[in-house]
Amino acid sequence: MATTICFIIWVLFITDTVWTRSVRQVYEGSDPEDWTVHDFDCPRECFCPPSFPTSLYCENRGLKEIPAIPSRIWYLYLENNLIETIPEKPFENATQLRWINLNKNKITNYGIEKGALSQLKKLLFLFLEDNELEEVPSPLPRSLEQLQLARNKVSRIPQGTFSNLENLTLLDLQHNKLLDNAFQRDTFKGLKNLMQLNMAKNALRNMPPRLPANTMQLFLDNNSIEGIPENYFNVIPKVAFLRLNHNKLSDAGLPSSGFNVSSILDLQLSHNQLTKVPRISAHLQHLHLDHNKIKNVNVSVICPALPTTLPAEQDSFSYGPHLRYLRLDGNEIKPPIPTDLMTCFRLLQAVII
């Protein structure tokens, strides 16, 4: 009996040991037998938390150079330092890196060695916000999923920069110095899976050309955009969130069909020069038109027409316009709210005038 109990305990011990080892390997990507040496390969300028052996914290330390990165590191934090260059050498052994945060440094394009970033074959997230970049860095690793370049001095996008970045889903270029001449018709070619594009707070006067077909979120606030080409949205049939606040859009600058695009769910056109409420799709849920020059709301024009025939199980209430939020304050409209507005948009929960 005692022998049987001992055997069961031994089996449970071995099973637990194997399970623990495999779980650690899945989540940490490093051999637990190597954990004893982590204290020795940790750069003295940084902190290596024992509870997170794949993370390296080097932020807020006044560093001027990137230290040698151990091979076990997945997550690298170097923000808020005085780093000016990204050479290849510190990353020679860092083949497992998934995340690099270099925000708030002094990095220039001249300071990035050509193969320093492209050699990181598993890198998914790259943060280079608040630096001194004047163009989008290139080449970048094909594996990259998010590229954050906000608040730099970017005015150029070299040809072919995005050609191999088919895994990129988010590109943030807000608060830079982009002009219309920064884009060619094939600038975004290769970004097959891009979903979010942020180019707010630049100096654009026109809509960027030939956006990736899978774009779902397009943010262009705080530019000087005056118009939108006819059929512009045909190229991005999945766009759901469109922000064009603080631009120079006028009625004459809109397509003849307005924003009657079935994919758009949230449309923001605040602080422009519109005098009329543009046409919208029945699928739109949130509409921001505050601080324009609108004097009245012509419901007969903006109310989306219902299909002539409805499915047997549907009625006009559930199948009608989906608009739930409408903001019209800061215009020249005076209360009360037109009754036919509520008759058309029966799902409206908030109207701000």
Confirm if 115 and 135 have CB atoms less than 8 A apart.
no
What integer is the mean pLDDT of 238-262? 96
What confidence tens digit (pLDDT) does each residue in 187-225 have? 999 999 999 999 999 999 999 999 999 999 999 999 999
Query: Residue 68: its pLDDT value, please?
Result: 96
Confirm if 134 and 157 have CB atoms less than 8 A apart.
no
Query: Residue 11: its pLDDT value, please?
Result: 35
pLDDT of 86 over the 50 cut: yes
Confirm if 67 and 88 have CB atoms less than 8 A apart.
no
pLDDT of 156 over the 60 cut: yes
Cα Rg of the chain (Å, integer): 27
- The label of the residue with tokens 């994919």 reads 263
266's CB contacts (< 8 A; 6+ apart) are: 240, 241, 242, 284, 285, 286
Query: Residue 121: its pLDDT value, please?
Result: 97
What integer is the mean pLDDT of 15-31? 37
pLDDT of 67 over the 90 cut: yes
Query: Residue 17: its pLDDT value, please?
Result: 38
Distance CA 10, CA 14 (A): 6
pLDDT of 319 over the 90 cut: no
What integer is the mean pLDDT of 261-271? 97
Query: Residue 5: its pLDDT value, please?
Result: 39
pLDDT of 9 over the 70 cut: no
SS (H, E, C) the chain: CHHHHHHHHHHHHHHHHHHHHHHHHHHHCCCHHHHHHHHHHCCCCCECCCCCCCEEECCCCCCCCCCCCCCCCCEEECCCCCCCCECCHHHCCCCCCCEEECCCCCCCHHHECCCCCCCCCCCCEEECCCCCCCECCCCCCCCCCEEECCCCCCCECCCCCCCCCCCCCEEECCCCCCCHHHCCCCCCCCCCCCCEEECCCCCCCCCCCCCCCCCCEEECCCCCCCCCCCCHHHCCCCCCEEECCCCCCCHHHCCCCCECCCCCCEEECCCCCCCCCCCECCCCCEEECCCCCCCCCCHHHHCCCCCCCCCCCCCHHHHCCCCCEEECCCCCCCCCCCHHHHHHCCCCCEEEC
- Which has the minimum average pLDDT: 37-41, 59-63, 118-122? 37-41
Reading the block at residue 155, the tokens are 């005015």
pLDDT grade, residue 41 (50/70/90)?
A: confident
Query: Residue 47: its pLDDT value, please?
Result: 96
pLDDT of 287 over the 80 cut: yes
pLDDT of 316 over the 90 cut: no
Average pLDDT of the chain to the nearest whole number: 88
Reading the block at residue 182, the tokens are 């920064």
Ranges for all domains in the chain classified under CATH 3.80.10.10:
47-122, 225-303+317-352
pLDDT grade, residue 334 (50/70/90)?
A: confident
pTM summary value: 0.86
pLDDT of 26 over the 90 cut: no
**Cβ neighbours around 286 below 10 Å, total:** 17
Q: Which CATH superfamily is domain 225-303+317-352 in?
A: Ribonuclease Inhibitor (3.80.10.10)
pLDDT of 260 over the 90 cut: yes
Distance CA 14, CA 16 (A): 5
pLDDT of 20 over the 60 cut: no
Query: Residue 73: its pLDDT value, please?
Result: 97
Distance CA 119, CA 136 (A): 17
pLDDT of 186 over the 60 cut: yes
What percent of the chain has pLDDT above 70?
85
State the fold for domain 47-122. Answer: 3.80.10
Query: Residue 311: its pLDDT value, please?
Result: 57
